[in-house]
Structure formats: structure tokens, C-alpha cells
């Protein structure tokens, strides 16, 4: 995608993102929409990459609008629901759908942020974004982009959500238009569609943000991040990517700070903290494994030395084995969070 958005003909667009606990609210929403709802709806719900999604079938049974798994190159139709398939980002490129296996964002593919940014960039004021139940904060950056481009931001009431993290993150960091219980969201979307073109629109995005957003959407669509010059679009960060250990740059979006590495992986601050914690734990268990192997090797060699009539050398290795065993046990307790190192 280039650095400027273009006018879009065709249906308006509603983009919906959810994770843990979002299914019930999504089905309730589908059941509350009328069969003549004019907008197309794109849905990202976090699911394991190696399992088929049954969400289109569930949505088909829940309400009057036809639902299906999105297909690459498909033309958007109003009154239809399109669901991101497992392990693929879903993007709205004007009136056409794009599927990609671009770098994961917030350790997820499909990413809610990718979908929402594409809606903001291509549809501007004719896009509405909805955040449902989920853990961590995927979707906050994308909802911010929708607001910057003049779109409408709606969030499920956090107190109602089974998992409040995603709704709370959006409410705290984005100037959302509505915070609603699920049973009121369908009627709100109908009212939104009815008033398109008549309400006052506030577009806050500047040309620098527009160019950077276009670049990021290109990366999500499988363009080469480093060759596109992503590191030139923000200050370099001292932190490395938990996914690939690459250099990262820092992006500021309103009250939100996030990071993207030169290979393309992207993180909000909260997801980066989670990723670094996981990286530290993985490193500790890798060290535990190495110490286990050292103990096994020392014990094995000590046995052979004793059998070969070299008791002094065997005693030396036995002492080293005991010291390595103590180090392994200490680090294992730390990895299990049973006690601190000191």
C-alpha cells in the first residue's frame, strides 16, 4: 500500500476483533443484525493456527447474514460476514480482501490490529471498529487508527466481558465513541450505517502517520520490512524482538507505545513485556537442560574413570558433578518461581 488513502465505493465496513471469551458476544451480535444491514463485516478472533475454524458455520446459524471464511482477492459485499482463516492476516484493501502470512503482530496471526488498520486506511470515516472480550491488548492500536481516519470506535462494556483486558486497553488508550453491552451493539451499528455521510467527521491523521501506516500494511501483506525502510519511521529501541531477536523501532500512537522489528514482528508494550518474560523463562529452562546434560556427562565419565582404576580423577569429577547438580537445582527452583537467586 502506498502512503495515501483513496476514496472507496461499495459498502461501508465494520471490523470486529475478539479473543478469549468473545464467541458468545459475537454470536449475539450476529443474531441482532437485520437481514438488510448494508455494511460488510470482517471478523478476527484469535484461534490456534493448526485448527480449522468453525466460526463461519456458527455465525451462519446465529443470524440472518451469510458468513464465510474470507478468500484472498474476494470482493466485499454488504450484508455479508467474512471471517479470517487460521494463521492468516485479513486485510481490507479498498473493496477487495487480502489474506497474507505476514509477520505476526502481538504474537498473533491473524491480528486484530492489522485488520483494523487496513479498514482505517482504505475506508476512513466509512469504517467502524468493535473490540470484544479478550486478553492482553491486540486491537487497541488498530482502533486508534480507525479514530484517526475519522471512523467510529465501539467497545464492549469491560464489566460484561468474560476477559476484560482488550476492552479495558481500548477504553484507556483510545477516545472511543461508545462503550456498550453486547445486546445494544447491533442497534448501534444499524444507527451508524443509517447516518453515514450525515455526521461530522474528524480526521486527525497527518501525512507522516499516513505514510507509516501504509508501510506497515504493506509489511502485513508480505512486503519486506527492512527493504521498505521500517527502521526509518521511529527511534530505534534498545530492546530486541522476542520472536527473532532483531532490532526494533518505537512507534508512538497517542497514549499507546508499540514496537516493530526490522523483520516485521510488532508488539504493544504489554505484549512485549509478556514476550520478554517468556524469552527469559525459555532461556532459564535451556540453561537447566544444559546443566542436566553436564551432570549426566560428568557422572558418566567419573564412572568410567573409577572402573579404569583412576580413583583420584573419579573423585574430582564426582565433586564437580555435585556442584553442577546444586547449580541446576537452584536454577530450576528459580525457573519454577519457588525462590529467588539470592
Active site (catalytic) residues: 19, 46, 138
Residue 37 corresponds to which cell in the numbers above?
444491514
Residue 302 corresponds to which cell in the numbers above?
567419573
Name the strand (E) or helix (H) holding 334.
Answer: helix 311-335
Which residue has cell 540453561? Answer: 287
CB 244 within 8 A of CB 104: no
Q: How distant is the alpha carbon of residue 73 from its chain centre?
A: 23
Name the strand (E) or helix (H) holding 258.
Answer: strand 256-261
Q: Which residues of 295-327 are buried (b: 16+ CB within 10 A; e: fewer)?
A: beebbeebeebeeeeeeeebeebbebbeebbee
Half-sphere exposure of 254 (CA within 13 A, CB side): 19
What is the C-alpha to C-alpha distance for residues 91 and 26, in angstroms, rounded to an integer? 19
Q: Of 216, 207, 140, 213, which Cα lies nearest the Cα of 175?
A: 140
What is the C-alpha to C-alpha distance for residues 307 and 286, in angstroms, rounded to an integer? 32
Amino acid at each position: 500500500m502506498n502512503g495515501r488513502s483513496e476514496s472507496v465505493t461499495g459498502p461501508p465496513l465494520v471490523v470486529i476483533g475478539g479473543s478469549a471469551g468473545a464467541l458468545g458476544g459475537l454470536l449475539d451480535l450476529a443474531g441482532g443484525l437485520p437481514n438488510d444491514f448494508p455494511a460488510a463485516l470482517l471478523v478476527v478472533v484469535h484461534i490456534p493456527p493448526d485448527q480449522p475454524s468453525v466460526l463461519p458455520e456458527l455465525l451462519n446459524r446465529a443470524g440472518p447474514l451469510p458468513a464465510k471464511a474470507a478468500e484472498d482477492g474476494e470482493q466485499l459485499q454488504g450484508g455479508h460476514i467474512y471471517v479470517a482463516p487460521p494463521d492468516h492476516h485479513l486485510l481490507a484493501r479498498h473493496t477487495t480482501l487480502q489474506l497474507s502470512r505476514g509477520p505476526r503482530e502481538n504474537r498473533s496471526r491473524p491480528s486484530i490490529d492489522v485488520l483494523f488498520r487496513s479498514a482505517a486506511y482504505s475506508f476512513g470515516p466509512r469504517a467502524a471498529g468493535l473490540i470484544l472480550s479478550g486478553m492482553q491488548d491486540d486491537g487497541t492500536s488498530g482502533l486508534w487508527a480507525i479514530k484517526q481516519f475519522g471512523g467510529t470506535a465501539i467497545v464492549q462494556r469491560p464489566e460484561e466481558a468474560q476477559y476484560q483486558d482488550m476492552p479495558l486497553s481500548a477504553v484507556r488508550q483510545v477516545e472511543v465513541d461508545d462503550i456498550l453491552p453486547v445486546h445494544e451493539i447491533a442497534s448501534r451499528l444499524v444507527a451508524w450505517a443509517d447516518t453515514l455521510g450525515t455526521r461530522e467527521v474528524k480526521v486527525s491523521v497527518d501525512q507522516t502517520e499516513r505514510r507509516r501506516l501504509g508501510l506497515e500494511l504493506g509489511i502485513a501483506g508480505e512486503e519486506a520490512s527492512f527493504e521498505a525502510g521500517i527502521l526509518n519511521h521511529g527511534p530505534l529501541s534498545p530492546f530486541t524482538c522476542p520472536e527473532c531477536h532483531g532490532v526494533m523501532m518505537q512507534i508512538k500512537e497517542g497514549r499507546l507505545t508499540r514496537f516493530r522489528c526490522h523483520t516485521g514482528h510488532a508488539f504493544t508494550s504489554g505484549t512485549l513485556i509478556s514476550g520478554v518474560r517468556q524469552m527469559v523463562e525459555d532461556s532459564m529452562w535451556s540453561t537447566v537442560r544444559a546443566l542436566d546434560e553436564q551432570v549426566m556427562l560428568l557422572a558418566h565419565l567419573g564412572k568410567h574413570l573409577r572402573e579404569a582404576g583412576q580413583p583420584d580423577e573419579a573423585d574430582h569429577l564426582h565433586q564437580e558433578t555435585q556442584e553442577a547438580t546444586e547449580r541446576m537445582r537452584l536454577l530450576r527452583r528459580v525457573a519454577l518461581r519457588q525462590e529467588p537467586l539470592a
